[in-house]
Structure 1
Amino acid sequence: MATLADVPGAVVDDRGLRHVGSPVAEQRRLASGSALAPLGDRGVISVGGEDRRSWLDSLSSQALTHLAAGVSTEMLILDPQGRVEHAASVVDDGETSWLIVDRADVEALAGWLTRMRFRLRVEVKDRSDDLFVVGGTREAVSALSAVAPVWVDPWPDVSPGGWAYARVEPHPGSERDWAEAILDAAEFDRVIDSAVRGEVALAGLDAVEALRVAAWRPRVGVDADERLLPHEMDWLRTAVHLSKGCYRGQETVAKVHNLGHPPRRVVALQLDGSDNVLPQRGDEVRAGDAVIGAITSVAVHHEEGPIALALIKRTAPEGVPLVVETADGPLAAAQETVVPADAGATASIPRLPRLGRRRAAE
């Protein structure tokens, strides 16, 4: 039976398919719907039982009690101080709630959910060994199976009960068409066999991440640390319902949003690509001589070139040039504000036009 390693040009590591020879070209094919991405770094948790949606609602940041079949959303599990512990993409098929989770977090989240069942009619299963996730445009992944659950990314639209901090219009993620299908082993094998025969084009995780970073889309396994509040990544848009019932961490979410400001804020960075140097996650970000934050995600985008997301201090100056301290020396970076310094206790803020892409500016 064919494997990903048999696909011509495939580079595979412990996370899955990284690329098939040209991550930049793969981004274009993914965005156009002419390629599919096997997401080996995702896992699947199923939640069955009559009480599943109201139970998940009570535990998470999202309103799920009345989630209709086929409607996609996402949820966060917060600690008592409102910090992000887990995140999951959620779609319900009328009988089961399907959670797509970063693979490294599946065991921890499934274990925590299992411990929280008490006497409710719910059943939690880690299905990561027998179900597989494939990403692409909604049309591309929906064509894979007539019965597979398909999660459609709601980012960057503001979901019911959500709130947007980023003020730019249009949002860089507004044209991103992204969905993920949950396939059984036979369906997944057919995709791989078709790719080996050259009938289906595949794209790797490097291309997937580049499109995500360019859309300012947060991901818990990459952008979160032990202190992350959802406000800091503009995650109230799609993952938090501000007027739902009680859940762990809700008090902090409400206080920061209504009365205060998040202590950090995410910025998008356009990196100097002249020396072909890329920073690593955790590299320090400086404004002058002051360390103001750290890199969370890095990618090379097919239009914007080298880009990154960084979490910086709320009080760090907006719009000034920054420097990223890499292992190969300092790297100049131009910042674009995602979460503004006054985010939180502010409403009715005017939207601003987005800065032009690098290519347009040159």
Structure 2
Amino acid sequence: MTVVRDLHEDYGAVFEERGERVLPRHFGRPARTQRAVRNAVGVTEHAYGVLVVTGDDRHDFVDNVVTNAIPETDGEGVYALLLDAQAGIRTDMYVYTTEDSLLCFLPPERVGEVADEWRENVFIEDVEIAEATDDFAVFGVHGPEATEKVASVLHQSGAPDAPLSFVRGEMYDHGVTVIRTDSPAGEEGYELVCTADAASDILETLLTRGLNAPPFGTRVWEALTLEAGTPLYPHDMAGRVPNVLGLRNALDFEKGCYVGQEIVSKVENRGRPSQRLVGLRLDGDAEDVPAIDDPLDVRVDGRTVGEATRAAWGGAVDAPLALALVSYDTEAETATLATADGERAADVVELPFLVGSDRSARAPRYE
């Protein structure tokens, strides 16, 4: 459940369930709100499950099981993955280092399972894992004027500059942690973390004080990230080998072992994963976005070359868009998407569709 449902309702929110969380899907006229974020700035509530890892051995413990090197310096973070034995993605996460803990932000539907598994794997290490999802709220500020927006309401600190770094400040008499994001929407972005009891004041401040910023929900977030070429969990990521998605920002091949690392390394050394992530641009308006409840076949000259994982209205390019995983050697400029209403023609586009005020660190890169 969102910790500020009443306030979202005051702004006309339509809700949806995400795991055990209920979040705003949209606030009406999502296409217009999408343009507002691209042109200026908007505010959203992000759904995260939160784990707090403490103890003297916390750094080595988490570092040994995820795909990226965990920073040791207070105020720094990293994007990382948990893999299964076949190198498929089990979940993604952000890990932030404080003086006395690691804060792990995961999809809310995965946090309980990961917490239980990590506890079972603690033997002689000095490590404690606590679930803290209900203790925090996380609000996103995204758009080319995001820095100005945060600066207009944040006190006792300036906005952080480096991606996935954070600072501590004050907003409306409440302490907040401000994280510079890795730009999944293709724009400047920040996430503001506060205690649950401060959430209503913080959201009201973000919406009504300083630079104007309208609220937006998950529908706009999915569209913004699709335009930016950012794969999302679980839609585009669950069970996929990270090399296939071009997620180089989530991998550190120099660090110690983690489950599935050998397979990922072999794919890397071979230099050619089996598939790659591309974009599909279709004809039509905002009412013509294909529904993708399950992956849809992508075909070239009648031959299936891959599958589309999700679709959204691309307001920045004025067309329905989709993400698709296709055979790595697919060079066709056009394809067809097999929808429930028949095949639809699409242009095959290298991602991202759009680079706004910043480039998504998760946009695919194949080297």
- Secondary structure at 1:308 match in 2: strand
- Give the match for residue 27 of structure 1: 34
Instruction: Select which of 176, 179, 185 maps to 1:148.
Output: 176
Quick check: 1:110 aligned with 2:123? Answer: no
The separation in 2 between residues aligned to 1:78 and 1:196, in whole angstroms, is: 38
- Give the match for residue 352 of structure 1: none
Q: Tell me, yes or no, if the aligned pair for 1:73 and 1:91 is still in contact at 8 Å.
A: yes
Instruction: Select which of 1, 5, 10 maps to 1:7.
Output: 10
Deviation track 1:130-180 (CA, whole Å, cap 9, x = no partner) reads 212211236346856534334433358xxxxxxxxxxxxxxxx7x522232
The separation in 2 between residues aligned to 1:293 and 1:184, in whole angstroms, is: 43
The separation in 2 between residues aligned to 1:50 and 1:245, in whole angstroms, is: 19
- Give the match for residue 284 of structure 1: 297
Letter in structure 1 aligned against 2:290: L
The separation in 2 between residues aligned to 1:247 and 1:196, in whole angstroms, is: 42
Instruction: Select which of 181, 186, 196 maps to 2:192.
Output: 181
The separation in 1 between residues aligned to 2:41 and 2:130, in whole angstroms, is: 33
93 and 31 in structure 1: CA distance in 2 versus 1, 3 angstrom threshold:
farther
Q: What is the total number of aligned residue pairs between the two structures?
A: 321
Gaps of 5+ in 1: 157-172, 348-362
- Give the match for residue 43 of structure 2: 36
The separation in 2 between residues aligned to 1:28 and 1:262, in whole angstroms, is: 35
Aligned-pair identity in percent equals 27
Quick check: 1:259 aligned with 2:270? Answer: yes
90 and 3 in structure 1: CA distance in 2 versus 1, 3 angstrom threshold:
same
The separation in 2 between residues aligned to 1:53 and 1:31, in whole angstroms, is: 37
Deviation at 1:35, TM superposition (A): 2.2
Deviation at 1:234, TM superposition (A): 0.9
- Give the match for residue 324 of structure 1: 337
- TM-score, normalised on structure 2? 0.78
Quick check: 1:309 aligned with 2:316? Answer: no
- Secondary structure at 1:220 match in 2: coil
The separation in 2 between residues aligned to 1:338 and 1:196, in whole angstroms, is: 32
Deviation track 1:333-354 (CA, whole Å, cap 9, x = no partner) reads 1112359xxx99x96xxxxxxx
Q: CA RMSD in A?
A: 2.8
- Give the match for residue 74 of structure 2: 69
- Give the match for residue 124 of structure 2: 119
- Give the match for residue 273 of structure 1: 284
Quick check: 1:52 aligned with 2:67? Answer: no
The separation in 1 between residues aligned to 2:7 and 2:322, in whole angstroms, is: 28
Q: Tell me, yes or no, if the aligned pair for 1:36 and 1:141 is still in contact at 8 Å.
A: no
Deviation track 1:248-300 (CA, whole Å, cap 9, x = no partner) reads 21111111101252112111111222572423141221112112221112111
Quick check: 1:213 aligned with 2:226? Answer: yes
Q: Tell me, yes or no, if the aligned pair for 2:306 and 2:326 is still in contact at 8 Å.
A: yes
- Secondary structure at 1:44 match in 2: strand
Q: Tell me, yes or no, if the aligned pair for 1:38 and 1:204 is still in contact at 8 Å.
A: yes
Q: Tell me, yes or no, if the aligned pair for 2:300 and 2:332 is still in contact at 8 Å.
A: no
The separation in 1 between residues aligned to 2:5 and 2:37, in whole angstroms, is: 22
- Secondary structure at 2:264 match in 1: helix
The separation in 1 between residues aligned to 2:39 and 2:60, in whole angstroms, is: 37
Q: Tell me, yes or no, if the aligned pair for 1:2 and 1:192 is still in contact at 8 Å.
A: no
Instruction: Select which of 101, 106, 114 maps to 1:101.
Output: 106
Letter in structure 2 aligned against 1:51: D
Deviation track 1:218-248 (CA, whole Å, cap 9, x = no partner) reads 222221233x110111111x11012112222
Deviation track 1:193-235 (CA, whole Å, cap 9, x = no partner) reads 5589898631111111111111111222221233x11011111
The separation in 2 between residues aligned to 1:133 and 1:72, in whole angstroms, is: 16
The separation in 1 between residues aligned to 2:7 and 2:273, in whole angstroms, is: 42
Letter in structure 1 aligned against 2:231: P
The separation in 2 between residues aligned to 1:213 and 1:225, in whole angstroms, is: 16
Letter in structure 1 aligned against 2:326: I
